[in-house]
Amino acid sequence: DSGVTQTPKHLITATGQRVTLRCSPRSGDLSVYWYQQSLDQGLQFLIHYYNGEERAKGNILERFSAQQFPDLHSELNLSSLELGDSALYFCASSRGGRTKAGYTFGSGTRLTVV
């Protein structure tokens, strides 16, 4: 157990639907990062939050949004889902807002869009 909790572990949904992925960072970590992993694109950075504020945005589609709450947990919302959104979605956390130390990853949410 890495200390980063992601729920749900698996999600199967239909095209056009909306889902919410949840992440609780390791205790004491203020930063949350979201990544998407697929066979063709590899690990793609989506977004970074630090202590409730958005710090950096990557290749995140407009259909996707995220936020970090006062208790530091984060949610990634995916809407108008397409088949190509099927992927592993990882959340990672770190102590500060910089990458001076490694990230701690959760075990991921496997999203299947049918």
Is 33 a residue that touches another protein (CB under 8 A)? yes
**Binding residue (CB under 8 A) for another protein from 15, 51, 77, 99:** 99
38-57: which residues touch another protein (CB under 8 A)? Answer: 42-43, 45, 48, 50, 55-56
Closest to another protein by CB, 36 vs 81, is: 36
**Binding residue (CB under 8 A) for another protein from 8, 54, 98, 114:** 98
Cis peptide before 25 (omega within 30 of 0): no
76 vs 22: CA distance, rounded Å: 6
Is 88 a residue that touches another protein (CB under 8 A)? yes
83 vs 2: CA distance, rounded Å: 30
Residue 87 has φ and ψ, to the nearest 5°, of -175, 175
